């Protein structure tokens, strides 16, 4: 099953699967981002992070494999009277063509074997001094029922980030239990990894 087919099935349901509020951890890092720099949301889905930052005056690009999700994102953006650029693409096929001052991701479903290539693209396209910030489900999430994949190959460990991003300062690499309240898709206690990296 292609990424587009998988995510279109999820996002074809009525309403916003993960709600309209931004990811709480990414929102808490808002002070780190520079409005003068381009802003990229990876695997952005229906737009909750992208719309939040567009409303704050950022120049936002959102990538996602689901055209259904991106259509809902644009409807959301229109309702909020903001503009977000979008591109429908599987992140395994993404070829960055510009630099970004800020890159964010919440709960990317990326197979272990594909992470080297994707993480190198993120690092290469991040401007010097820019931030990559994200929240990811840890391998311990298999013990929780608050959302996320049930395939350990799509879950993360601290080492996934420690052993990559060699040109970034690792300002935060933390595994913890948090309580999610993100639409119908993410509800309850969850085991996550929080990442703040800055390009040097």
pLDDT tens per residue, range 152-191: 999 999 999 999 999 999 999 999 999 999 999 999 999 9
- Domains defined along the chain, listed by start: 3-199 (3.40.50.150)
What ranges make up the beta strands (E) of 53-121?
60-64, 85-88, 100-106
List for the chain the helix, strand, coil content (%; round to 5): 35, 30, 35
Per-position b or e across 27-37, b if 16+ CB within 10 A of its CB: eebeeebeeeb
pLDDT tens per residue, range 52-71: 999 999 999 999 999 999 99
Instruction: Give pLDDT, residue 1.
Output: 67
- Cα-atom radius of gyration of the chain, to the nearest Å? 16
Tell me if residue 20 falls in helix, strand or coil: coil
pLDDT tens per residue, range 102-146: 999 999 999 999 999 999 999 999 999 999 999 999 999 999 999
Indicate if the alpha-carbon torsion angle 168, 172, 173, 179 is positive or negative: negative
């Amino acid at each position: 099953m292609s990424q587009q087919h998988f995510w279109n099935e999820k996002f074809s349901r009525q309403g916003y699967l993960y709600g309209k509020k931004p990811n709480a951890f990414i929102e808490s890092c808002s002070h780190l981002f520079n409005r003068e720099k381009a802003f990229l949301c990876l695997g952005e889905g229906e737009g909750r992070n992208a719309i939040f930052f567009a409303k704050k005056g950022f120049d936002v690009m959102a990538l996602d494999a689901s055209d259904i999700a991106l259509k809902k994102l644009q409807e959301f953006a229109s309702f909020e009277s903001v503009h977000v650029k979008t591109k429908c693409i599987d992140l395994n096929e993404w070829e960055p063509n510009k630099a970004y001052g800020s890159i964010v991701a919440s709960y990317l479903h990326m197979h272990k074997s594909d992470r080297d290539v994707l993480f190198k693209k993120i690092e290469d396209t991040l401007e010097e001094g820019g931030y990559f910030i994200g929240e990811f489900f840890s391998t311990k999430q298999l013990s929780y029922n608050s959302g996320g994949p049930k395939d350990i190959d799509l879950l993360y460990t601290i080492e996934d980030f420690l052993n990559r991003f060699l040109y970034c300062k690792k300002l935060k690499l933390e595994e913890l239990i948090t309580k999610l309240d993100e639409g119908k898709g993410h509800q309850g206690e969850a085991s996550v990894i929080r990442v703040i990296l800055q390009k040097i």
